[in-house]
Amino acid sequence: MAYSYHSNVPAPMFGSIARFALAPLRAIDGFFQSVAAANRFAHDVEILSIASDAKLAKMGLKRETLIADLAARSDLFRAS
């Protein structure tokens, strides 16, 4: 009876080369995701800044602390 072993694990060198080669693409992707998140945040601030005080109060927000409250609720400003 013959025993053979086949491994699907790639060589360690290939993984590190691929990770190194894709690093700039991950950085670019992260940049564009940050820009998109900042645009969503700015849009939310703009829309809520023209809302009435009654509507803001219904949402648990105050006009004086609107930006700080939205930043606290946002994933954009959380530490990783």
32-72 pLDDT tens trace = 999 999 999 999 999 999 999 999 999 999 999 999 999 98
* Amino acid 16: pLDDT: 80
Mean of pLDDT values over 4-8: 62
* Amino acid 76: pLDDT: 77
Tell which wins on pLDDT, 63 or 79. 63
Which DSSP string corresponds to the chain?
A: --------PPPHHHHHHHHHHHHHHHHHHHHHHHHHHHHHHHHHHHHHHTS-HHHHHHTT--GGGHHHHHHHH-STTS--
